[in-house]
With several copies, the nearest count.
Chain A
């Protein structure tokens, strides 16, 4: 079932040029070494989904370096 109709619960609209993704997805991207801004978003409202991040990391999975710290 659809989780909820409202697209980005918790995601404010109109933020600066950064890629839109729910916070845990940002963490996933970081752990997988994926640059969020290079991912094509497929979520409603232009949100990068978990699947988008996983797809982006797939080819490089074997060599993905551990995440660096901020």
Chain B
């Protein structure tokens, strides 16, 4: 017999980006909330995802900047990576944010339940012996690394989880998967001094990005000495004395100290009782309608558990949406095309809106403008290469913004406003961007599309 943990307006399973955002917004809207988490408040993003990887990438940036300092007139010697120091820095950032988040959740009077929960009714989640009743239930149990059947031993074969705890820099790494997480780790390993080879079954790195962006990234990685095998699926791996030997389809083998598997993430939903109460699933993902409702009782789901972009800010947006929806507000549906995507490798790859290919597939008559960062003063100062590409409907609004270059990730927010507010190129072109910034490259692309190129050779 289980005890009662009480009844809440909203009971949430999982305190990652999606779950905790829903909890915070629901509490603001005067709902009583129970937030169930078996590990740590903040979930994947804060502890094993966005934040630690971006800390490693920044250590990598510092390492590269130190190595190349002579190009900027700074005399310095680079003496290597101190992994203990890297982890100390990384953990300091995580701990500070974790403390802030914990305080925030507490200050909004959310009931945090520590432990592993399971859905035990259409309005009930049970943790251990205690049942929490919810007038609404939110499934937010997130995702975990997929492994393509590779046996992860945590030593010679690893995923992002083990990679975040490495105690020394490997001499060489094969990365399985050239998606966002794969190229980010490739960038880190390379900055830290390793030989890196990425194996990607599709024809391009970051294959969900506009093809022009993929090509620019490939060129930049080649210059950085990051190798890649594109269009060649992985076949098998065996561990050797000194590391791993990876075999690709067709027979080519690559030896390295480490195999890092980064072939995507799958939902955490097994054995959590979802199907038992009638929630529909597909390949482990929970199926929801456009209101993130599962179709069963008052059960909603969000984040990496459903088949939308696996991004923390999608989790935030969905969490806010669900809370507002339950509260009886009528929030506008999320336009997933309008969500910015950033890959934080060096150079960064960033986009919002549609790729040229998708825009064409959807029947748009499009115009596009590529503006090379070679013409951008600030990019030259940073000595970075890349481009900005803007896709617009002919005589219509901007449909997509695609960028490659150091630090361009921050520029997606401008793209986010432009895309979501359906601005015309001429409306952006009217606003001359500040000099010298990288954002001017975006400005120049819009000026060109508006028929009034400024610093632009056509």
Contact = CB atoms under 8 A, between A and B. Distances in A.
B422 A11 contact: no
Contact of B427 (A12, A66, A70): A12
Interface in A1-22: 1, 3-4, 6-16, 18, 22
A69 B220 CA distance: 34
Given A3-B397, A10-B430, A12-B430, A70 B424 contact: no
B333 interface: yes
Contact of A9 (B332, B399, B426): B332
Interface string B335-360: 11110000000000000000000000
Given A4-B337, A22-B422, A12 B397 contact: no
Name the prevailing secondary structure of the B interface residues.
Answer: loop
A20 B134 CA distance: 37
Given A10-B431, A16-B395, A4 B335 contact: yes
Given A1-B364, A7-B332, A10-B420, A70 B426 contact: no
B424 A15 contact: yes
Contacts of B363: 1
B129 interface: no
Interface size class of B (residues with CB under 8 A): 20 to 34
A54 B397 CA distance: 16
Contacts of A50: 424
A69 B334 CA distance: 9
A12 B420 CA distance: 12
Contact of B337 (A23, A26, A70): A70
A24 interface: yes
B72 to A, nearest CB: 37
Contacts of B422: 3, 9, 22-24, 26-27, 30, 70
Interface in A34-66: 50, 66
A11 B362 contact: no
Contacts of A70: 335, 337, 399, 422
Given A22-B421, A27-B420, A67 B364 contact: no
Interface in B252-300: 290-291
Contacts, number: 84
Nearest to A17: B395
Given A1-B362, A1-B363, A12 B338 contact: no
B330 interface: yes
Contacts of B424: 12, 15, 24, 50
Given A9-B420, A10-B421, A23-B422, A28 B335 contact: no
B423 interface: yes
Nearest to B450: A12
Given A7-B332, A13-B330, A66-B290, A24 B421 contact: yes
A24 B427 contact: yes
A41 B434 CA distance: 32
Contacts of A13: 330, 332
Contacts of B423: 23-24, 26
B29 interface: no
Contacts of A27: 420-422, 427, 430
A34 B421 CA distance: 14
A31 B363 CA distance: 22
Contacts of B396: 18
Contact of A69 (B291, B329, B335): B335
Given A24-B422, A27-B422, A69 B336 contact: yes
**4 closest cross-chain pairs (CB), A and B:** A23-B421, A31-B332, A12-B426, A66-B333
29 contacts: A3-B397, A9-B332, A10-B338, A10-B417, A10-B430, A10-B431, A11-B430, A12-B332, A12-B427, A12-B430, A14-B329, A15-B424, A15-B426, A18-B396, A22-B422, A23-B417, A23-B422, A24-B421, A24-B427, A26-B421, A26-B423, A27-B422, A30-B422, A31-B332, A66-B332, A69-B337, A70-B335, A70-B399, A70-B422
Interface of A: 1, 3-4, 6-16, 18, 22-24, 26-28, 30-31, 50, 66-67, 69-70
